[in-house]
Amino acid sequence: MKILVPVKRVIDYNVKVRVKSDGSGVDLANIKMSMNPFDEIALEEAIRIKEAGKADEIIAVSIGASQSQETLRTALAMGADRAILVVATDDVNQDIEPLDVAKILHAIVVEERTDLILCGKQAIDNDMNATAQMLSALMGCSQATFASKIELAGEKIKVTREVDGGLQVVEVTLPSVISVDLRLNEPRYASLPNIMKAKRKPLEQKEPKDFNVLVKNRLEIIETNEPAERMAGIKVSSVDELVEKLKNDAGVI
């Protein structure tokens, strides 16, 4: 079985994001970029499945500007076998929208004949949470989102999902798209020998037109704002005071 893991290059989660002064987006100049943390978790799961002897090959795919190559090298160093870079823009500031990403991924899935697609539930830059669902719709196959546990048994996969009310267990049949949540696993860091090996692993470069997809943004960003600054909290000395504050100051009860 082949596993496809899409990985996105995003602002590192440790970086404090700053909005550009003209409000046109966030400032990416000289900012540390990394693999989307949820994609890292998806990749880790794929590697574990392969290590357990239940998969033969892991293909990492990234769609975006050519800089995404760095993210793919990280994926290869962690344990992906080969990578496909789809250069869909030459502007690092351009976000490729989920539908176009899903269409390109769909074409790759067909071409590569992959049965399992493991992806992050969302990218931490735009928090869309849409690609996995769209891909599964395009493929006409099963989907399981927000996975916190994945158990393979032949053609069937038991997925534990994190839902608002608790945990939900579903069973899907391959082929399937599974999007993963934070608590699924703790991704490994690449070892030095694997970093060196990754430099020689195949990385294929493609363009959207190779898959007959025309990348076209449908959404227009009107404005980007800093979130409102959080006010400092206060300490109250008694329950009575707390109730009083909730009633009169916060107006929540």
Does position 195 bind another protein by CB under 8 A? yes
Tell me which stretch binds another protein (CB under 8 A): 81-89, 106-114, 151-159, 195-203: 195-203
Tell me which stretch binds another protein (CB under 8 A): 66-74, 92-100, 135-143, 212-220: 66-74
For residues 163 and 189, which CB has a smaller minimum distance to another protein in the complex? 189
Distances (CA, A) of 192 to 17, 49, 75, 223: 30, 22, 14, 43
155-194 residues in contact with another protein (CB under 8 A) are 189-193
3 state SS of 208: helix
For residues 24 and 191, which CB has a smaller minimum distance to another protein in the complex? 191
Give the binding-site size for another protein (rule: CB under 8 A). Answer: 13
Neighbours of 45 (CB within 10 A): 22
Q: Are 43 and 6 in contact (CB under 8 A)?
A: no
Task: Select the residue interacting with another protein from 9, 73, 106, 121 (CB under 8 A).
Answer: 73
Does position 251 bind another protein by CB under 8 A? no
Neighbours of 128 (CB within 10 A): 15
Q: How far is the CB of 85 from another protein (least distance, A)?
A: 16
Q: How far is the CB of 191 from another protein (least distance, A)?
A: 4
The helix (H) or strand (E) run that includes residue 44 is helix 37-51
Does position 27 bind another protein by CB under 8 A? no
Give me the count of residues in the chain: 253
| Distance of alpha carbon 120 from alpha carbon 181, whole angstroms | 7
Q: Are 146 and 181 in contact (CB under 8 A)?
A: yes
Residue corresponding to tokens 């929208």: 97
Contacts to another protein by CB under 8 A: 34, 70, 73-74, 77, 189-193, 195-196, 198
